[in-house]
């Protein structure tokens, strides 16, 4: 089927039989790893690390080398698209992302270009190609993007937000303008992910980090609708091989049924949701990825092992589960605790695939 | 039944017939009101305002005077209990609450006293008595407390937290110690609320602000169990009159069924949850309070009115709905926008009570 020596992750997303549950971690290439901090130190700024294919490749491979994760995920940022649109992304130390030119007027939205990934985001595609070459089929490579709604929150607010006053203000007062913005973003995200697929990504994931701040009636109209549009525009195959897509809305546990109707092969779950209950609600339609509370990794290896066992048991027999955290790993976790999690998944999961 | 001239709020909580839907707002006595900022300015610190019954009474009554809300809520802080336990509460400007002596060891937990509300928290009871005297029955008075779990998060972390690493660490590694702490807090919260009821509170509300950060299996064990214990210890009547209790877990929309089994007369809802869907899930057991997104109040009065109409329609015919925001009002809202919300509820809700 492919040149992948380990395609557990892809098979689990497609609900094909697997010998054990595959495992990877959101933000697995990150600050908790000393070898990451070393590369980060020599890169200069965070954006210099993101935009340097050689270094992005190096940190992408680190956690695969160290832990043998069943998937690699492109090292990049969710805000590369708005940066390529001209908003001027930077990261102030300890402050998170900032845009020099946030969207303030209707003309700002009208004038937004849809970036050509192979030119304006070439550094990402170069990283994907380099990672694929260096992975040598050891694990599938996940490409990713922020969701249209999540990108819009940063583009309108200009930075991380607590109450999302500006972007919700646009949503309430100028819904047509918001729809124009989200449609442009959906086209841009789809083009970006399709370019990553063409460059070698074996699966893609859409991070709707801020979908959960919307109300129950705004979420389907302003977030989910555009996640669906992205999925409809995505290439589903490369060289005859299925490229599955994962949708993750942090805080979206109430809306899983609607999320499962959008064409994504899998849904990411945070730790508020029981993965067993989620499977009962939507498991015939999609695979599920998650969902250990990232804070669990501060606990002792024995406690971690117990939590892994509970989640595997909660999901139960059969394929369709990708083990992961419910959100990104925190920066001061002991890497040996990650190893305890990975080993527990390897040792405890085969019994659910007999 | 009582000396209340307006008992719409109490009747709605008890699902008795009402002529229209009652309305109040979480944090209605707060910084968005110029008259509040004036009193706050002369009080000195935030804690000096909380601990001065005369001033606490004054700001409690302000929003009732201005908007004619259908309930007053005691002006206080959710962290008065740990302060009375000796942890040393203060508020750094723009930083939120801090404890000088957070819980760090098992002995810190063993040695925690259960405060006597009429001595260590006398200033709160004096405020309740003064407010009751000055309200003259215009509206019921709501007493409140943080939930045991929510108090524990601040007591262990020492301040507001992003990831709740320390308190979850105790939960994972020392669950018996965490249960000891939560049991003490449940006893303290119940004694505190019972004292508020004795002093004149006509209803009480338990704010489980941080229950939503727990996983689906930790929430029932470490948050809901102790909210239930509080309810079981609460006095349900004063002078032959029912004193209803409201439980609000921010981010608890997935767990409403379990919350509805804890004996509270009503559940608070945030804006992630459709109040109509919530009613279908639990509405035969409890009343529902909520649930407009607080950010909606930045929008124009017409937009606000439209959102009020949608929520009233979503709940539908019959009693059991208290209109509120899904979380506290934000500090820079225009008071005239609050008026638009209140007027819309008054004008649009009678049709649902015919």
**Residues, chain A, total?**
354
Contact between B310 and A217 using a beta-carbon 8 Å cutoff:
yes
B176 and B109 Cβ atoms separated by less than 8 Å: no
Report pLDDT digits (tens) over B308-351: 999 999 999 999 999 999 999 999 999 999 999 999 999 999 99
pLDDT of B1 higher than 70? no
Share of chain B above pLDDT 70, in %: 99
Q: What value of ipTM does the predicted structure carry? A: 0.94
pTM: 0.96
Confidence of residue B284 (pLDDT cuts 50, 70, 90): confident
**Residues, chain B, total?**
354
Q: Mind telling me how many Å the CA of B3 is from chain A's nearest CA?
A: 38
pLDDT at B92: 83
Contact between A216 and B293 using a beta-carbon 8 Å cutoff:
no
- Residue to substitute from A208, A216, A315, interface B, most B β-carbons within 10 A: A216
Contact between A173 and B300 using a beta-carbon 8 Å cutoff:
yes
Concerning whether A31 is annotated as a catalytic residue, the answer is yes
Mean model confidence pLDDT for chain B: 96
Radius of gyration, CA atoms only, chain A: 19
Q: Show which residues on chain A lie within 8 Å of chain B, measured between beta carbons.
A: 163-165, 168-169, 172-173, 212, 214-218, 251, 253-254, 271-274, 277, 293-296, 298-300, 303, 310, 326, 330
Of B159, B185, B182, B184, nearest in space to B171 by CA = B182
pLDDT of B283 higher than 90? no
Contact between A251 and B251 using a beta-carbon 8 Å cutoff:
yes
pLDDT at B191: 98
Residue matched to tokens 């419910």: A326
CA dist B336 and B229 (Å) reads: 40
- Residue to substitute from B293, B296, B299, B311, interface A, most A β-carbons within 10 A: B293
A34-to-A38, A53, A336 alpha-carbon distances in Å: 6, 20, 12
Q: Which residue of A has its CA nearest to B310?
A: A217
Neighbours of B328 (CB within 10 A): 17
Q: In this structure, what is the dihedral angle of CA atoms B63, B65, B69, B72, given to the nearest 10 degrees?
A: 70
CA dist B127 and B132 (Å) reads: 8
pLDDT of B212 higher than 60? yes
Where residue A93 falls (left for φ over 0; alpha for ψ -120 to 50; beta otherwise) is: beta
Contact list in B for residue A253 (CB cut-off 8 A) is 253-254
Contact between B272 and A165 using a beta-carbon 8 Å cutoff:
no
Map out the domains of chain B with their CATH numbers: 8-353 (3.20.20.210)
Burial class (CB in 10 A: 0-12, 13-18, 19+), A99: buried
Give per-10-residue mean pLDDT for chain A (354 aa).
84 98 98 97 92 98 98 97 96 87 97 97 98 97 98 96 94 97 98 98 98 97 98 97 98 98 98 98 95 97 98 98 98 97 98 96
pLDDT at A93: 76
Q: Please name the member of A169, A212, A253 whose beta carbon is closest to the beta carbon of B299.
A: A169
């Amino acid at each position: 089927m492919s040149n992948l020596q380990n395609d557990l992750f892809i098979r689990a997303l497609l609900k094909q039989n697997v010998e054990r549950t595959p495992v990877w971690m959101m933000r697995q290439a990150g600050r908790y790893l000393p070898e990451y901090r070393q590369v980060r130190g020599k890169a200069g700024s965070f954006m210099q690390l993101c935009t340097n294919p050689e270094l992005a490749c190096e940190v992408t491979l680190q956690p695969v080398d160290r832990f043998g994760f069943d998937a690699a995920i492109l090292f990049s940022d969710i805000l590369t698209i708005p940066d390529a649109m001209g908003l001027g992304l930077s990261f102030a130390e300890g402050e998170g992302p900032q845009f020099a030119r946030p969207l303030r007027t209707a003309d700002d939205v009208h004038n937004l270009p849809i970036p050509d990934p192979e030119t304006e985001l070439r550094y990402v595609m170069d990283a994907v190609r380099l990672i694929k070459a260096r992975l040598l089929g050891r694990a599938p490579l996940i490409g990713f993007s922020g969701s249209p709604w999540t990108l819009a929150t940063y583009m309108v607010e200009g930075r991380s937000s607590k109450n999302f006053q500006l972007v919700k203000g646009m949503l309430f007062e100028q819904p047509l303008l918001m729809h124009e913005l989200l449609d442009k973003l959906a086209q841009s995200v789809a083009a970006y992910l399709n370019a990553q697929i063409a460059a070698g990504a074996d699966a893609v994931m859409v991070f709707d980090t801020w979908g959960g701040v919307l109300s129950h009636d705004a979420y389907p109209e302003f977030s989910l609708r555009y996640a669906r549009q992205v999925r409809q525009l995505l290439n589903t195959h490369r060289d005859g091989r299925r490229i599955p897509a994962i949708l993750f809305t942090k805080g979206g546990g109430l809306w899983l049924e609607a999320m499962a109707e959008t064409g994504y092969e899998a849904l990411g779950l945070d730790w508020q949701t029981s993965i067993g209950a989620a499977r009962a609600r939507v498991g015939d339609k999609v695979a599920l990825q998650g969902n250990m509370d990232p804070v669990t990794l501060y606990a002792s290896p024995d406690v971690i092992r117990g939590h892994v066992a509970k989640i595997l048991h909660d999901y139960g027999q059969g394929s369709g589960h990708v083990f992961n955290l419910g959100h990104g790993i925190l920066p001061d976790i002991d890497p040996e605790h990650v190893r305890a999690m990975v080993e527990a998944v390897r040792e405890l999961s085969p019994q659910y695939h007999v």
